[in-house]
């Protein structure tokens, strides 16, 4: 090997060493700079149940949400039950029964009016209907209706005959 070749190799080693030192220096400075800006890593819980900050308002919020949810569930159940009741009342059978009851009550009412105000009125009488008793009597131009319900409560109505005019 010649002196020139040796000098070239040493120059190349020198340049490589300088380059590595420079890269090492840049990395060292970079790491130091990052560490100067860095802060310690601390873990903090965001949930107030764990860290204690604003815990009472957090618990109140949870309680309010639970209460509102329970209330909405109760309202939904009530609405569904009411819908079921409405559906039961609007069946064909239910409408038929209401219509039949209405006609029966109209006939009973017509017969009672006929007995009280007809051409040959009766002076007294009794009618029992679904556990209720209706007693009527006519004395001195006054019709007295005495209605006794199933519990024994009495309602008395007095109507003067001939004082009604339309």
Q: What does the pLDDT look like over 32-89, one tens digit per residue?
A: 877 777 677 787 777 777 767 777 787 888 899 999 999 999 999 999 999 999 888 8
Burial class (CB in 10 A: 0-12, 13-18, 19+), 93: exposed
pLDDT at 166: 55
- 164: confidence class by pLDDT, cuts 50, 70, 90: low
Instruction: Give the pLDDT confidence of 83-117 residue by residue, as tens digits.
Output: 999 888 888 888 888 888 899 888 888 887 887 77
- 165: confidence class by pLDDT, cuts 50, 70, 90: low
DSSP calls for 99-136: HHHHHHHHHHHHHHHHHHHSSS--SEEEEEETTEEEEE
User: 144 - beta bridge partners?
Assistant: 137, 158
pLDDT at 121: 74
Neighbour count for residue 136 (Cβ, 10 Å): 20
More confident residue, 137 or 164: 137
In the chain, where the domains are located:
56-89, 92-160
Instruction: Give the pLDDT confidence of 6-36 residue by residue, as tens digits.
Output: 888 888 999 999 999 999 999 998 888 777 7
pTM: 0.40
Among 2.30.30, 3.10.450, 1.10.1220, 1.20.120, name the CATH number for the domain at 92-160. Answer: 3.10.450
pLDDT at 38: 61
Residue linked to tokens 């007995």: 115
Residue linked to tokens 């000098």: 7
pLDDT at 18: 93
pLDDT at 67: 95
pLDDT at 65: 94
């Amino acid at each position: 090997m010649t002196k020139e070749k040796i000098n070239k190799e040493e120059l190349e080693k020198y340049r490589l060493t300088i380059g590595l030192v420079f890269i090492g220096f840049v990395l060292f400075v970079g790491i130091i700079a990052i560490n100067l800006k860095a802060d310690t890593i601390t873990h903090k819980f965001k949930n107030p149940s764990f860290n204690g900050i604003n815990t009472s308002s957090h618990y109140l919020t949870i309680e309010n949400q639970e209460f509102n949810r329970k209330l909405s569930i109760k309202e939904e159940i009530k609405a569904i039950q009411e819908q079921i009741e409405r559906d039961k009342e609007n069946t064909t059978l239910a409408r038929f029964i209401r219509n039949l009851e209405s006609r029966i009550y109209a006939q009973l009412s017509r017969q009672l009016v006929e007995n009280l105000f007809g051409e040959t009125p009766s002076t007294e009488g009794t009618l029992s209907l679904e556990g209720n008793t209706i007693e009527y009597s006519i004395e001195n131009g006054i019709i007295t209706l005495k209605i006794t319900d199933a519990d024994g409560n009495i309602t008395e109505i007095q109507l003067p005959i001939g004082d009604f005019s339309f």
